[in-house]
Amino acid sequence: MSAHTQPSALGDVLLVEDEDALALGLVDLLEGAGYRVTRAATGEDAIALARSRSFDAVILDVILPGRDGFDVCCELKTRSPRLAVLMLSARDASSDKVRGLRLGADDYLSKPFDTLELLARVEALFRRAALAPRTLAWTAAGIRVDVIRCEAFRDDARLDLSAREFQLLLYLLDRRGELVTREQLQRDVWGLSPDVLTRTVDIHVARLRKKVEANPAVPRLIMTVQGLGYRLLA
């Protein structure tokens, strides 16, 4: 593994790619755009680097020697749910995309890809990161969230939240009392265009309610604003 220490004001990116030619091209591309890039050639190296220092985003190939990208994504997201992950794969199967997203990946790009599209997706990851909660601890209606430890509790019982559910809860908490539209959630939490027709937001809100509400059938915390979106009550 090698590190490029060119100063950057945009952020630190961990690139996990075993193909040398592609990796060198991506390092040049990203550094030219203003990012600081560290490259790892294996999943084991990526995990070791993530344990030793912090990164703002990870560009992660699925097919790697040893531990594959899915395994690496799962471990990275378990350790740091707020870490932004863009997965790359030569496999365009929708099942692979769904698997990656369910493991907590923020985006998925199939090879071969246009370099401008990759840069645009990385920029989107950093825009969403800039929307991260401004408070490191939250308490609302019996729910307590520790942003540093990536843990949430209801009446002192630890909640078993997926990485995406945790991100969704943080987003709503940071905007408590405000109407949050489905389009906002698609864009900022999932990185999807508002034009994309999907039930993902509603499905995840329903799952989150089951875990945070005392009675999910009669929610007192996450309220539905009919036809518009959701509001988290203080």
- What does the alpha-carbon distance between residue 28 and residue 32 come to, in Å, rounded to a whole number? 6
User: What are the residue boundaries of the structural domains of the chain, listed by start?
Assistant: 2-130, 137-232
Closest CA to 46 of 24, 19, 68, 20: 68
Between residues 44 and 81, the one the model is more confident about: 44
Q: 166 and 153 in contact (C-beta within 8 Å)?
A: no
Instruction: Please state the pTM of the whole predicted model.
Output: 0.56
Q: pLDDT tens for residues 85-118?
A: 999 987 766 777 788 887 888 888 888 889 999 9
Token readout for 74 is 């799962």
- What does the alpha-carbon distance between residue 50 and residue 85 come to, in Å, rounded to a whole number? 12
Predicted local distance difference test score (pLDDT) of residue 135: 52
Q: pLDDT tens for residues 19-75?
A: 999 999 999 999 999 999 999 999 999 999 998 888 889 999 998 988 899 989 988
- What does the alpha-carbon distance between residue 28 and residue 18 come to, in Å, rounded to a whole number? 16
Q: 145 and 203 in contact (C-beta within 8 Å)?
A: no
Burial class (CB in 10 A: 0-12, 13-18, 19+), 195: exposed
The 8-class DSSP code of residue 11 comes to -
Asked if the model's pLDDT at residue 208 lies above 90, the reply is: yes
Please, what is the Cα angle at 97 between 41 and 70, to 5 degrees?
A: 40
Sheet holding 157-158, edge to edge: 137-140, 143-146, 151-154, 157-158
Predicted local distance difference test score (pLDDT) of residue 89: 85
Q: pLDDT tens for residues 153-205?
A: 888 889 998 888 888 888 888 888 889 999 888 887 887 776 777 888 999 99
Burial profile 146-162: b = 16 or more Cβ within 10 angstroms, e = fewer? ebeebebebeeeebebb
Between residues 177 and 4, the one the model is more confident about: 177
> 137-232 adopts what CATH topology?
Arc Repressor Mutant, subunit A (1.10.10)
DSSP code string of 148-193: TTTEEEETTEEP---HHHHHHHHHHHHTTTSEEEHHHHHHHTS---
Q: Is 2-130 assigned to CATH 3.40.50.2300? A: yes
Predicted local distance difference test score (pLDDT) of residue 124: 84
